[in-house]
């Protein structure tokens, strides 16, 4: 019932980052930290024409890659993360993005959230990604009492059927972005009747 109502309210649910391969989604997700997906898509449209393989990120001078991702914010850290992850892909996986959580999180700078997004949206493998929106919504809806991303992920995996994990992730993300924001817009919430959050807004 909960997921059905959310999916009806957000029929455009799904990845909000533009990509054409697992590598592109991995890169875009790394760049998306503390940035709006719309800005990331603006940057990657050009970036993906220039960098097509992990080796391209490894070979380019750091200063040049920093300039290319400057508009995403925290560009030095992100350029460093892209180089480290790309080097890991070459060293451990022959330049291919692996399709398992265990292998993905071995890459420097890749945590469970990033790995889950890649697994679910690039490979179609059921996974739940917990970002700040998912964490906030899960807490307010009573789906998890934890503030720890790993525990929230466990609670959501237990609550939703495995086949719905990717769908649940993106619906919770969109709900957190559009309705259940830090100051929620409760009067227009599609799951208001199912929500136990005690600090609902009136207007």
Residues 6 or more apart in contact with residue 48 via CB below 8 angstroms: 19, 20, 24, 27
| CATH 1.10.340.30 in the chain, residue ranges | 22-122
- Tell me whether residue 83 is one of the annotated catalytic residues: no
**DSSP letters of 25-72?**
HHHHHHHTTTS-HHHHHHHHHHHHHH--SHHHHHHS-HHHHHHHTGGG
pLDDT of residue 60: 98
Confirm if 7 and 175 have CB atoms less than 8 A apart.
no
**CATH number for the domain formed by residue range(s) 2-13+128-194:** 1.10.1670.10
- Tell me whether residue 131 is one of the annotated catalytic residues: yes
Which pTM was predicted?
A: 0.94
What is the C-alpha to C-alpha distance for residues 74 and 69, in angstroms, rounded to an integer? Answer: 9
pLDDT of residue 101: 98
Neighbours of 143 (CB within 10 A): 18
Residue-averaged pLDDT of the chain? 97
Q: Topology of 22-122 in CATH? A: Endonuclease III; domain 1 (1.10.340)
Confidence at 203, pLDDT banded by 50, 70, 90: confident
Instruction: Tell me the residue length of the chain.
Output: 203
pLDDT digits (tens, 9 = 90+) for 26-62: 999 999 999 999 999 999 999 999 999 999 999 999 9
pLDDT of residue 86: 98
Q: Which of 131, 150, 199, 202 is catalytic?
A: 131
Q: Which of 78, 113, 155, 167 is catalytic?
A: 113
Structure tokens at 36: 């709006």
pLDDT (mean) for 126-130: 98
| CATH 1.10.1670.10 in the chain, residue ranges | 2-13+128-194
Confidence at 72, pLDDT banded by 50, 70, 90: very high
What is the C-alpha to C-alpha distance for residues 91 and 87, in angstroms, rounded to an integer? Answer: 6
pLDDT (mean) for 84-105: 98
What is the C-alpha to C-alpha distance for residues 7 and 191, in angstroms, rounded to an integer? Answer: 11
């Amino acid at each position: 019932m909960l997921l059905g109502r959310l999916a009806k309210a957000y029929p455009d649910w799904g990845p909000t980052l533009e990509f054409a391969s697992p590598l592109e989604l991995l890169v875009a997700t790394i760049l998306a930290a503390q940035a709006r997906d719309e800005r990331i898509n603006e940057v990657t449209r050009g970036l993906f024409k220039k960098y097509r393989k992990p080796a391209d990120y490894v070979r380019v001078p750091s200063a040049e890659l920093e300039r290319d991702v400057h508009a995403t914010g925290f560009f030095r850290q992100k350029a460093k993360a892209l180089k480290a992850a790309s080097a890991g892909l070459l060293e451990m996986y022959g330049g291919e993005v692996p399709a398992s959580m265990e292998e993905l999180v071995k890459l420097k700078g890749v945590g469970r959230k990033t790995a889950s997004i890649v697994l679910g949206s690039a490979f179609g493998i059921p996974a739940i990604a917990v970002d700040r929106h998912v964490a906030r919504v899960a807490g307010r809806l009573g789906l998890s009492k934890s503030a720890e991303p790993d525990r929230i992920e466990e609670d959501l995996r237990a609550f939703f059927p495995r086949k719905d994990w990717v769908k649940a992730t993106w619906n919770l993300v969109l709900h957190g972005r559009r309705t259940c924001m830090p100051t929620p817009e409760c009067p227009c919430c599609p799951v208001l009747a199912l929500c136990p959050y005690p600090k609902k807004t009136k207007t």
